[in-house]
Amino acid sequence: MTVSAAEQIQLLFEILMSVDSHADIKVSAKKSLSLILRKLNCSAGGIFFVNLLSDESDVVKEIISIPQISINSFYLDSLETFKDKIRKTGWVDLQKSFPFCYNHENEGYCHILNLSDFGFILLIKNNGCFPDSFIKSLQPVFNKIGSIYNSMLKNETLLLNEERLRSIYENVNIGLFRISSAGNILMLNPAGRKILGINNDSDLGEMIITEFYKDPSFRDELIDVLETKKNIKGIRTNWKKKSGEFFPVNINVTAYYDDSGKIRYFEGSFEDITERVNFENNLKAAKENAEKSEKLKSDFLAQMSHEIRTPVNTILNYTSLLTIDKGTAGNQQNAFIYDSIENAVNRLLRTIDLVLNMSDIENNTYKAIFEEVHFERDVLRPIIQEFKSAADKKRLNLELISTDVSQKVYADKYTLVQIIVNLLDNSIKYTNKGKITLSIKDNKFSISDTGIGISEEYIPQLFQKFSQEETGYSRKFEGTGLGLSLVKKYCEINNAEISVESQKGIGTTFNIIFKQKNPFINEYKKQVLH
């Protein structure tokens, strides 16, 4: 293509003038591209935007291409090749080497020129390549076009942001305001006017914000804070509607200053929190009522415990006197009656203890006292001695296996004792023949029996409150179903983990693993270390 200097200037002028900076960027780009393709005798082309801020892997976005639908493969191949250059070289460095030209012997030449920082234009010419001098003369014009497109894009973005802000301002359901340093309301959105009960916009110019404070001096305190903090968030106070009705409000305020450091105006938001405050008050009242109810329940249980224990202890005392002579010939016939009374009374006392202990745990009134406890001497052996007669009555062999007689554990002694008592009581209750073995090894305590066992299906429910494998009037064994639930909670108090292994008809083993580091303290090892 041979073009005179005058024709070249005229062409450049026409191309530049084809850009309509007042139109939509796509409309303007389509008009300009059509003229460029026609004047330069090109068969196809496209204008592309390079968005360096895009999070997507492909930062190239098509603005317009002609023809829009049937673009040949050479066009697409050239575009992909150029995109690959952008990815490898980087857009900033690649701009230094414009323009580009891709040649294809059957489909012609693809020219790519820079559009300043906006992007690039791609032109396909079938009948020969543009001369270097001519293509270089086009580059400044296209750079200028790119600058115009950049401005248009910024304006479109600005208008879009303004529309979004206007939409938020008009439709948000919280109050937005701007107030002068003197307190005049300069701006108040529709939601704010609705909250304050202002119907006429004309009223705003005459209003002072202190009119809406229940305590006008509170605003002075806010300003004192804003002079140092610049902004305040989440301040609660009471405002007054135009009708005179008071309501709670949550305020966020930011102070804006002039060059001399004086406050020009305040901007912020406010929200009517009447429903939230009512909810919080109701929640507080419900909590207080619940706490009062729990205290009443605890007091009631404690009182009932006293009222039941007193007569029961009397029964036990007199029963023990009656059983002194039960071994003589004249009293042997009453031995069974005395034993039944004693067992029933002990069962009643145990039930009271379980209910009270569960109440303490659930109400968080139990206070654990952690100390170093000699596990075998202070816990296991006294319990075994206590339960020996019960085991002997059923002819069960009760044994203790300990790998180290000097083992100690850091625990709450009361709950630790209750864990062993409940587990051993269950083992004796559910074992009719054989033996019960208690063992200590490292940081694990185990209690095994040769009792009736637990079904695999029931094990997941084992530690639930009031849970028993056999229920109803036909069940074979007594109990409240609270014991193992308490054991689980007591293990948690002592940072221990309980698990169970069992087979129906063969027996059960409970394992307790203390999770704290070095739970058992070996006295001999301590002496050696020190």
pLDDT of residue 329: 46
pLDDT band with cut points at 50, 70 and 90 for residue 55: low
pLDDT of residue 424: 92
- Amino acid at site 426: N
Is residue 99 within 8 A of residue 118, CB to CB? The reply is no
Is residue 119 within 8 A of residue 36, CB to CB? The reply is no
- Amino acid at site 467: S
The span from the CA of 199 to the CA of 197, in Å, is 6
Please say if the pLDDT value at position 160 is more than 90. Answer: no
The span from the CA of 352 to the CA of 308, in Å, is 9
Closest CA to 490 of 522, 512, 457: 512
Q: Which of 301-310, 311-320, 450-459 is predicted most confidently?
A: 450-459
Is residue 147 within 8 A of residue 118, CB to CB? The reply is yes
pLDDT of residue 530: 32
pLDDT of residue 523: 40
Is residue 122 within 8 A of residue 112, CB to CB? The reply is yes
pLDDT of residue 211: 79
Please say if the pLDDT value at position 236 is more than 80. Answer: yes
Q: 78 by DSSP, 3-state: which?
A: helix
Please say if the pLDDT value at position 4 is more than 50. Answer: yes
Higher pLDDT, 443 or 413: 413
Q: What is the mean pLDDT of residues 204-217?
A: 77
pLDDT band with cut points at 50, 70 and 90 for residue 498: very high
Residue-wise pLDDT for 101-146, tens only, equals 888 766 788 888 888 888 899 888 887 788 888 888 888 888 888 8
pLDDT of residue 56: 60
pTM: 0.41
Backbone φ and ψ for 111, nearest 5 degrees, come out as -105, 135
Look up residue 41 and give its DSSP letter.
T
Q: Which of 194-203, 405-414, 465-474 has the lowest mean pLDDT?
A: 465-474
Q: Which of 12-26, 178-192, 419-433, 474-488 is predicted most confidently?
A: 419-433
pLDDT of residue 525: 36
Closest CA to 476 of 451, 509, 449: 451
Task: Using a pLDDT cut of 70, give the percent of the chain over it.
Answer: 76
Please say if the pLDDT value at position 319 is more than 60. Answer: yes
Q: 472 Cβ partners below 8 Å, 6+ apart?
A: none
pLDDT of residue 325: 58
Averaged pLDDT of the chain: 78
Angle between helices 132-171 and 5-17 (to 10 degrees): 10
pLDDT of residue 202: 62
pLDDT band with cut points at 50, 70 and 90 for residue 323: low
pLDDT of residue 397: 92
Q: What is the DSSP string of 313-355?
A: HHHHHHHHHHGGGTTSTTTGGGHHHHHHHHHHHHHHHHHHHHH
Higher pLDDT, 157 or 236: 236
pLDDT of residue 136: 81
CA atoms within 13 Å, Cβ hemisphere of 473: 0
Q: What is the mean pLDDT of residues 304-316?
A: 68
Please say if the pLDDT value at position 495 is more than 50. Answer: yes
pLDDT band with cut points at 50, 70 and 90 for residue 13: confident
Closest CA to 121 of 137, 100, 90, 96: 100
Higher pLDDT, 11 or 258: 258
Closest CA to 123 of 142, 140, 106: 142
Per-position b or e across 488-518, b if 16+ CB within 10 A of its CB:
bbbbebbebebeeebeeeebbbbebebeeee
The span from the CA of 270 to the CA of 237, in Å, is 10
Q: Give the residue carrying structure tokens 């992007």.
A: 119
Per-position b or e across 356-379, b if 16+ CB within 10 A of its CB:
ebbbbbeeeebeeeeeebbbbebb
Q: Which of 173-177, 188-192, 200-204, 268-272 has the lowest mean pLDDT?
A: 200-204
Please say if the pLDDT value at position 519 is more than 50. Answer: no
Please say if the pLDDT value at position 22 is more than 90. Answer: no
Residue-wise pLDDT for 414-452, tens only, equals 889 889 988 998 899 899 999 999 998 878 899 999 999
The span from the CA of 417 to the CA of 382, in Å, is 10
Q: Which of 51-55, 331-335, 490-494 is predicted most confidently?
A: 490-494
pLDDT of residue 528: 33
Please say if the pLDDT value at position 374 is more than 60. Answer: yes
The span from the CA of 435 to the CA of 448, in Å, is 8
Is residue 275 within 8 A of residue 269, CB to CB? The reply is no
The span from the CA of 517 to the CA of 410, in Å, is 10
Backbone φ and ψ for 254, nearest 5 degrees, come out as -125, 135
Q: Which of 123-132, 235-244, 311-320 has the lowest mean pLDDT?
A: 311-320
Please say if the pLDDT value at position 216 is more than 90. Answer: no
Q: What is the mean pLDDT of residues 483-505?
A: 88
pLDDT of residue 521: 44
Residue-wise pLDDT for 282-291, tens only, equals 888 888 887 7
pLDDT of residue 508: 93
User: Is the C-alpha dihedral spanning 293, 298, 302, 305 positive or negative?
Assistant: positive
Q: Which of 22-26, 271-275, 494-498, 507-511 has the lowest mean pLDDT?
A: 22-26
The span from the CA of 383 to the CA of 360, in Å, is 23
